[in-house]
Amino acid sequence: MVSRRKFATGLIAAPFLARAQSAPLRARVKIDTERVIGDIDPMIYGNFAEHLGRCIDGGIFEEGSRLSDASGYRKDVLEAAKNLHVSQLRWPGGNFSSNYHWRDGIGPRDQRPPRLEMAWGTVESNRFGTHEFLDYCKLMGTEPYICTNMGTGSWTEAQEWVEYVNSPLDTAVTRERKRNGRAEPWRVKYWGLGNEMDGGWQMGHKDVVEYSKFALEAAKLMKWTDPDIKLIAAGSSNYGAGADWIGWNRTTLDFLKNHADYLALHLYVGNTQNDYGDFVACAMELHDRIKTAEGVIDAALSGVRNRKIYIAWDEWNVWYRARGNSQRGRKILEEHYNLEDALVVATFLNTFVNHAHILKMANMAQLVNVIAPIFTNETGLYLQTIYYPLQMFAANTKGKALELFVDTPRYSSRRFADVPYLDISASHDNGSLVINVVNRHRDQAIETEFETQDKQFSGAVEATEVNGPDLKSENDFGKMTVTPVAKRAAAQGNRLRYSFPPHSYTMLKARLA
């Protein structure tokens, strides 16, 4: 993992004073392909589609639009979603899932009941349900991840959903599936045991013991229906003063340690103070939470043999402008992202890779329009700044996550001390080395020397940079300001020198022999 405390060379007390300095900023990175953090699970490049605002209705799915196919899927959105290389897609929520009764969303579309949707203050038509979601995942080339209703739902409802979707047996429930046009089971692997159940905002919110007992009984029935499924327990989404984040997670795992495969955690961040240096450092908080959660998992599993529980960071993103009580109804949570948001997204992805041994799933929230990398109107779409880091990581950063020696200048911000200006992760996969670097510095390039310890660079190096004229640069319909740009890079022997421009995310791809 990137060491952020050990090498405090060049510590700059106040951020971005370096404009006055004359000497260029420099960094050193050592790479040894035998120093492995863990296998990078492709499931860390997941996304999320909730029945919320225009994510599904008006995003993924727009019946009657000239941009949609005969099933109602927006073809342009599907193309952009495929190109994002998302490995798995969580559905149907989010808060929505806590009052979602899946039987409302099966059978002939015109006969499905419209229901009051209380999480986000709309009416749910139910025209996009289980079949539509699973067909969409097939088209998109992604794995489905279904979150069950542990709020107003029942154990039987969760169990029968697994039976309907996964069982090869001939039962009343699977006959219903067949009558609805699907003979073979889909065999969905990932199932969530509710969403943010510790939050008072959740429909059917429970205290930790109520939730844990309820989820345990559901988990038993779900795994007895299909022993091959993987279950994701709802961890705490309350962190900070007054919240018992650790206690909720520990109790949940004490109940579910023999049944859950993942602990779900969430984090949204925002530049609420318009303090770039502090905002762009916020993945340090993610790092701290992952470490704490890992400790809680280790404690819960002490004495338990042959069981692993991993972290599923199944909601994360920048979300602060379109937030608050007014966010109810149709056009909600529609964040417009800028360059600094894209840099934060890249540092989150670096942090996931740098904890590859324990963090095995993650979901950027969400896919379209709602805090999302893809933004539509009735006539088209554009790709937001945050689209590119996720796309570049998902398509390229694979195999083993490498533990690096990083010697970089640092700074301190309002909330974080000793923040490395360069935030880095690296992967190695059959001779292919991928290095992801965010230069957090607002004004200065950082000249960096990479030195491989056990192999030599071989052949050309590809460099791709995401940057923009200023930190607040945004994309829009017909105006793509922040996009990946190819740059020149070269390596010789075991050294690669590269100058990372201010406020940039760069991916370097090289071969090692």
Nearer to ligand AHR, 119 or 339 (CB): 119
In the shown chain, the binding pattern of residues 306 to 325 toward ligand AHR, with x for contact by CB under 6 A and - for none, equals ---------x----------
Stretch that binds ligand AHR, among 60-68, 92-100, 131-139, 419-427 (CB under 6 A): 92-100
Residue 296 · residue 253 · CB < 8 Å: yes
Q: Kindly state whether residue 196 participates in binding ligand AHR, applying the rule CB under 6 A.
A: yes
Closest separation between CB of residue 46 and ligand AHR, Å?
13
Instruction: Tell which one of 365, 383, 426, 510 touches ligand AHR (CB under 6 A).
Output: 365
Residue 158 or 461 having the CB closest to ligand AHR: 158
The verdict on 94 binding ligand AHR (CB under 6 A) reads: yes
Between 195 and 384, name the residue whose CB sits nearer to ligand AHR: 195
Pairing of strands 310-318, 262-269: parallel
**Residue 343 corresponds to which tokens in the numbers above?**
């840099």
Binding flag, residue 98, ligand AHR (CB under 6 A): no
DSSP character string of 110-148: GGSPPEEETTTTEEE---S-HHHHHHHHHHHT-EEEEEP
Strand partners, 90: 48, 145
Which one is catalytic: 62, 196, 403, 465?
Answer: 196
Return the SS3 of 410. strand
For residue 504, list its beta bridge partners: 439
Question: Nearest Cα to 506, choosing from 429, 382, 366, 396?
Answer: 396
For the chain, what is the radius of gyration of the CA atoms? Answer: 23
Q: Of 68, 88, 95, 142, which lies in the binding site for ligand AHR, with binding defined by CB under 6 A? A: 95
By DSSP bridging, strand 190-193 and strand 143-147 are parallel
How many residues belong to the site for ligand AHR (CB under 6 A)? 9
Q: Quick one: which segment of 76-84, 88-96, 173-181, 420-428 binds ligand AHR (CB under 6 A)?
A: 88-96
CB of 124 to ligand AHR, least distance (A): 14
Half-sphere exposure of 410 (CA within 13 A, CB side): 16
Residue 118, C-beta contacts closer than 8 angstroms, at least 6 positions apart: 99, 203
The single residue among 46, 72, 93, 277 that binds ligand AHR, judged by CB under 6 A, is 93
Q: How far is the CB of 386 from ligand AHR (least distance, A)?
A: 14
Least CB distance to ligand AHR at residue 266 (A): 6
Give the integer Cα–Cα distance in Å for 239 and 261: 22
Report which of 333, 290, 291 is spatially closest to residue 313, judged by C-alpha positions: 290
Residue 341 interacts with ligand AHR (CB under 6 A)? no
315 is annotated as an active-site residue = yes
Q: How far is the CB of 53 from ligand AHR (least distance, A)?
A: 9
Instruction: Find the part of the chain contacting ligand AHR (CB under 6 A) among 93-101, 239-247, 282-290, 416-424.
Output: 93-101
* CA gap 259, 231 in Å, rounded: 7
Q: Strand runs (DSSP E) across 158-276, as ranges?
A: 190-193, 230-234, 262-269
The answer to whether 489 contacts ligand AHR (rule: CB under 6 A) is: no
Which of 50, 294, 315, 474 is the catalytic position?
A: 315
What are residue 189's phi and psi, to 5 degrees?
-85, -40
Which token pair is 471? 């930190």
Q: Which stretch binds ligand AHR (CB under 6 A): 6-14, 90-98, 349-357, 386-394?
A: 90-98
Which residue lies nearer to ligand AHR by CB, 190 or 276?
Answer: 190
Is the Cβ of residue 94 or residue 420 nearer to ligand AHR in the bound state? Answer: 94
Q: Cβ of residue 378: shortest distance to ligand AHR, in angstroms? A: 24
CB nearer ligand AHR, residue 53 or residue 409 = 53
- What gap in Å lies between CA 352 and CA 344, rounded to an integer? 13
- Based on the shown chain and the rule CB under 6 A, indicate whether residue 59 belongs to the binding site for ligand AHR: no
Q: How far is the CB of 352 from ligand AHR (least distance, A)?
A: 18
Residue 95 — left, alpha, or beta (φ > 0 → left; ψ -120 to 50 → alpha)?
alpha
Q: In a 3-state reduction of DSSP, which class is residue 214?
A: helix
Q: Which residues contact 75 (CB under 8 A, 6 or more apart)?
A: 67, 68, 69
Residue 144 beta carbon to ligand AHR: minimum distance, rounded to whole angstroms: 18
Q: Which is nearer to ligand AHR, 219 or 365 (CB)?
A: 365
Cβ-closest position to ligand AHR: 94
Question: How many alpha carbons lie under 13 Å from residue 187 in its C-beta half-sphere?
Answer: 5
Sequential DSSP letters for 38-67? EEPPGGGGEEE--SSTTSTBTTTB-TT-TT
Using CB under 6 A as the binding rule, whether residue 47 contacts ligand AHR is answered as no
* Residue range at the interface with ligand AHR (CB under 6 A); choices 6-14, 87-95, 340-348, 409-417: 87-95
Nearer to ligand AHR, 147 or 424 (CB): 147
Residue from 99, 122, 195, 363 in contact with ligand AHR (CB under 6 A)? 195
At 348, list the tokens: 């989150």
CA angle 8, 10, 11 (to 5 degrees): 65
Give the 3-state secondary structure of residue 394: helix
Nearest distance in Å: CB 30, ligand AHR: 39
198 in contact with ligand AHR (CB under 6 A): no
- What residue ranges bind ligand AHR (CB under 6 A)? 50, 93-95, 195-196, 315, 365-366
Catalytic residues: 196, 315
